[in-house]
């Protein structure tokens, strides 16, 4: 019997704008607990189209990759995972961030999406290191990263303003030990 994954990731396209807006609206309060404040205009179809167009342009520039997380069976958009601040040269690194529909939490989807994004970063982008920052009390997110192979490195004090307040973040990272690129 074939082992089919429950989710897949792919770069967001403009045709995903309505589904992305629906995801953001349905999870507005939930996402706000872990995100910088967003203006009301963010929650419009125009802003979601702009957001996707900007991410497509940034992917073409090799600086930012925004993936939708989709249920394999229905192709419903249930989340987002991004590789941001892609650096080349002697750093070959990026940051990972993600969000998942609150009703989909606890099903292993985010761990699988992070694993797929790490695979893309290491095997398609040939990166050496991926970092993540998580508020220390967000134990679920830390668990996701650890299950995907990340290790804890330390606490960054008051480094991101979340919901209007400067918050500490646990820094986690994963290293590409199978690196094949040459500089």
User: Which pLDDT tens digit goes with each residue over 82-118?
Assistant: 999 999 999 999 999 999 999 999 999 999 999 999 9
For residues 11 and 164, what is the distance between their CA atoms, to the nearest angstrom? Answer: 29
**% of the chain beyond a pLDDT of 90:** 86
CA distance 60 to 15: 18
The pTM score is 0.92
Q: What pLDDT, on the 0 to 100 scale, is given for residue 163?
A: 82
Cα→Cα distances 63→8, 13, 145, Å: 22, 17, 22
Q: Which domains does the chain have, with CATH numbers?
A: 7-175 (3.40.630.30)
pLDDT grade for 18, boundaries at 50, 70 and 90 = very high
């Amino acid at each position: 019997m074939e082992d089919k994954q429950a989710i897949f990731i792919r770069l967001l396209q403009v045709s995903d704008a309505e589904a992305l807006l629906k995801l953001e609206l349905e999870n507005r309060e939930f996402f706000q607990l872990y995100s910088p404040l967003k203006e009301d205009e963010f929650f419009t179809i125009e802003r979601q189209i702009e957001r996707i167009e900007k991410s497509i342009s940034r992917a073409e520039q090799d600086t930012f990759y925004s993936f939708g997380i989709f249920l394999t069976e229905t192709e419903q958009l249930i989340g987002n995972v991004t590789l941001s601040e892609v650096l080349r040269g002697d750093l070959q690194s990026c940051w990972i961030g993600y969000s998942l529909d609150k009703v989909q939490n606890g099903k292993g989807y985010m761990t699988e999406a992070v694993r797929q994004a790490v695979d893309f970063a290491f095997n398609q982008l040939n990166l050496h290191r991926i970092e993540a920052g998580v508020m220390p009390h967000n134990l679920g997110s830390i668990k996701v990263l650890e299950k995907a192979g990340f290790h804890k490195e330390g606490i960054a004090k008051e480094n991101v303003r979340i919901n209007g307040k400067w918050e500490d973040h646990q820094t986690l990272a994963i290293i590409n030990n199978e690196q094949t690129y040459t500089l």
